[in-house]
Structure 1
Amino acid sequence: MRKIVSSIAFCSLLLSACATITPPDNIEQNASQRTYIDVLELDGRMSVQYQKNEQDEAIHVSFTWRQSKDRSTITILSPLGQILATIDVKPGIATLTQSGQAQRSAMDVDTLAEQALGWPLPVSGLRNWLQGFATDANNKTFIATSSNTNVLTRDGWNIQYMSWGDDNQTPPQSRPKRIDLTRQTEQAGKVMIRIVLDKWQSQ
């Protein structure tokens, strides 16, 4: 049971990262291929592979993500559609709610992740990464395209943009469809995360 709770918390905290980081101004100014979107609805799937107590672990979930400029609500669901966890992120506070568990809150998602798991998550980057923007290991802005798909971030995550799809804007803009993340960590060995975005709705 502890393994299941930890796995759910992992996915929940990972996704909650997407709602806590404001994109740097230079990303918006230089994104000639696409524009950054503050108000966004995403539906997707995620799989995670990592190690715990020297054992390989793998989890698979789906998620819904509702983001405004100052708040995000993320719902994590089992493959059968059961709600496993809900995240609410507002300025200065992040809250994780799970059925049958005490609610967890912290000043930010980084702190909440550290309290819950004790090992690093790509919290500070996901809000940008899901839209195809990143800061690379040389502290330069990276803008993903269909011909520029791989970046090593300044915090050690390797991101690969595997496929693309159009959003609902007029005219449509190309957006990431599948994103693979990998990083070697001391606490969890090699962490591999695959995110597939099934629905992209901007306002």
Structure 2
Amino acid sequence: MSRRPPHRSQGLRRTLLGGACALLLAACTPTLVRDGAQPAARPFLPAFAVEGRLSATDGRNAASGRFEWVHDDEQDRLTLFSPLGQVVALLEGDPAGASLEAADGSRREAADVDALLPEALGVDLPAARLPRWIQAAPAADAEVRTLDDAGRPQLVFDQGWRIDYAGYADDTAAAAPQRLEISRGDARVRLIIDSWTALP
């Protein structure tokens, strides 16, 4: 029985090793372009009003209902409603501070919205990132892992959070998200967007 020449065996090992390294590097690449699609140019609204439905859980407690959020560079106003339409909480914030008013009339104040958002939603989301997440316009330092066929973000990782975009308002590249899920560990927030309004 003849033996394979050593140089061919070494070449095969180098080929396999090179292929394994290529696969490993591909697994570490933050942006994966699906089916040859290129990232779409995403609009970002600095001021907007959005309405929809949400459900939130920290792994132990869960809540659901409707929400209205008005945002611009200077202030935020987030109103949370029960499934029956009753106001559950009103969270307001501006450069001077933030306040949270509950349905029973009690009021809490803090230095910023981040300090009160966990009490309102039950999940400790980073308030400063939410305007970009809800528009599928991630910041430059976020990791866009996958794109859909229109080049829009489908899976994003940002500051330890996973943002899955399950649906957009239409098939155009600039369409606003309609369904998304934000999660980290046991914490999870699902949003269904019913309406968007760009503000001046």
| 2:148 equivalent in structure 1 | 146
Residue 144 of structure 1 deviates from its aligned partner by 8.0
Look up the SS of the partner of 2:53 in the other structure: strand
| 1:47 equivalent in structure 2 | 55
| 1:197 equivalent in structure 2 | 193
Whole-angstrom distance in 1 between the partners of 2:120 and 2:191: 22
- The residue type paired with residue 193 of structure 1 is V
| 1:63 equivalent in structure 2 | 67
Give the one of 32, 38, 46 matched to 2:46.
38
| 2:181 equivalent in structure 1 | 180
Q: How high is the sequence identity, in percent, across the aligned residues?
A: 27
TM superposition outliers: structure 1 runs of 4+ over 4 Å = 113-119, 140-145
Give the one of 83, 92, 95 matched to 1:88.
92
What does the per-residue CA deviation read over 1:44-92, in whole Å, with 9 as the maximum and x for residues that have no partner? 100112233xxxx321110111223312212111111111111111113
- Give the alignment's TM-score, normalised by structure 2: 0.67
For the aligned residues, what is the CA RMSD?
3.0
Look up the SS of the partner of 2:115 in the other structure: helix
- The residue type paired with residue 182 of structure 1 is S
CA contact (8 A) 2:53 2:65 kept: yes
Whole-angstrom distance in 2 between the partners of 1:115 and 1:80: 21
| 1:23 equivalent in structure 2 | none
Q: Is the strand fraction higher in 1 or 2?
A: 1
Identify unmatched segments of 5+ residues in structure 2: 1-38
CA contact (8 A) 2:58 2:123 kept: no
What does the per-residue CA deviation read over 1:13-43, in whole Å, with 9 as the maximum and x for residues that have no partner? xxxxxxxxxxxxxxxxxx9623211221111
1:134 to 1:144, Cα distance in 2 relative to 1, 3 A: farther
1:104 to 1:144, Cα distance in 2 relative to 1, 3 A: farther
Identify unmatched segments of 5+ residues in structure 1: 1-30, 185-189
- The residue type paired with residue 35 of structure 1 is P
